[in-house]
Amino acid sequence: MADEIKHYATGSVIPLGDGFTGKSVLSRLIVNPKISDEELNHILLKTKKSYNIEIEFSSEEIITDNQPIITTLQLYVFPGQRQKIADRSTTFDEILNIFDCFPALLKVSVLLLIYDVTKEHTLQSLEMWLRFAIVKDWIYKDTLIVLVSNKTDLEPANDETIKRVKETIYSYIEDHELPVEMNQIITIKTSCVKMEGIEELRSMSLEWIAERGIRGVGIRDIEKLGEKEEKA
């Protein structure tokens, strides 16, 4: 009987940022970056303001230390809206309260802090979003923190600002004595319209999770699988 040992790694990716910064669109593109212009336009135009949790999954085989690892990104996307705007609209806090018990939310592998380069206030809010992740205990020794400057097709991202924000994030991490090194905080410029930075964000997240995500081993019995296929 021939067995094949398969190695798996999985990790949760949480995008945080104000409403309209592009969390939902970016997430949909990260799990599916090879799309046609038509599909991209559909996603850009039809993605509506989120009032619920959105879950996206994607797997790919990543070679780490000469070993293939089937790596899965699990994206949990929340609404950016924190204030109630209508009786029937749900907020970030209300949705999160429902899903707070999710094991995937106990430790987050990749935290995306997203702002819109054309809206200064969305950059200012990142402090609040980071504090939120710290209070929730989401950041641990295997968390990669990514500062995402989105919508760079509309305006270029300011490198000085990015550098300053990265240092601020690190000072927060230090103040809270979290076991995260400076090299675990990275920055990336993205444009969903031009599909820039998306593949990079995807491969960065996949490689991180392949190395530092939750590992598992599965055994596949090739002969038995073969027999089943013959019978079918």
Ligand X SMILES: Nc1nc2c(ncn2[C@@H]2O[C@H](COP(=O)(O)OP(=O)(O)OP(=O)(O)O)[C@@H](O)[C@H]2O)c(=O)[nH]1
Contact set with ligand X (CB under 6 A): 17, 19-25, 44, 47, 49-50, 79-81, 150-151, 153-154, 191-193
- Binding test (CB under 5 A) with Mg ion, winner from 10, 12, 21, 24: 24
Shorter beta-carbon distance to ligand X: residue 106 or 154: 154
Distances (CA, A) of 23 to 30, 54, 167, 170: 10, 10, 23, 22
Nearest approach in angstroms of CB 106 to ligand X is 23
How far apart are alpha carbons 26 and 19 in whole angstroms? 13
Closest CB to ligand X among residues 40, 209? 40
Nearer to ligand X, 81 or 109 (CB): 81
Residue (of 107, 113, 114, 129) closest to 178 by Cα position? 107
Cβ at position 144, least distance to Mg ion in Å: 21
Angle between helices 37-46 and 23-31 (to 10 degrees): 150
Residues that bind Mg ion (rule: CB under 5 A) add up to a total of 3
Q: Which of the listed partners (Mg ion, ligand X, none) does 44 bind, with a CB threshold of 5 to 8 Å by partner kind? A: ligand X
Residues numbered 25 to 54 that lie near Mg ion (CB under 5 A) are 50
Q: Which is nearer to ligand X, 20 or 102 (CB)?
A: 20
Residue numbers at the binding site for Mg ion (CB under 5 A): 23-24, 50
